[in-house]
Amino acid sequence: MNNSKKSPTSELISETKKLTRAIKESHVAFKKKLWQNVLLGAMTALGGVIALAILIPLIIFVLSQLDWVPMFGDIAAQMNGQMEVSR
């Protein structure tokens, strides 16, 4: 028997070890990817809330300055009154 060739049993054991290692690594990578996606989603939501907290008052302020358009002026005045009441 030539020693340069591996026996089928040792090749099977070697391949099984490689497969086991690959499965463990993919499981760790899945957990890491899951946490990255959770944090990404949380940061995206937080960014959206902060952006809306800045944009909505800005839009209301701009609309309240449009008194020369009667319809928009009345709506803006009502929204401004609601904002003042809620404070």
pLDDT digit string (tens) for the chain, length 87 residues: 445 577 888 888 888 998 888 888 887 778 888 899 999 999 999 999 999 999 999 988 887 777 666 666 677 788 888 888 887
Whether 3 is covered by a domain: the verdict is no
Q: Which amino acid is at 32?
A: K
Whether 2 is covered by a domain: the verdict is no
Whether 1 is covered by a domain: the verdict is no
Q: How many domains are contained in the chain?
A: 1
Tokens 């028997």 locate to 1
Side-chain half-sphere exposure of 79, counting CA atoms within 13 A: 18
Sign of CA dihedral 28, 31, 34, 40: negative
Whether 4 is covered by a domain: the verdict is no
Range of the domain at 36: 9-86
Whether 48 is covered by a domain: the verdict is yes
Q: Look up the pTM and report it.
A: 0.45
Q: Is 87 helix (H, G, I), strand (E, B) or coil?
A: coil
Whether 69 is covered by a domain: the verdict is yes
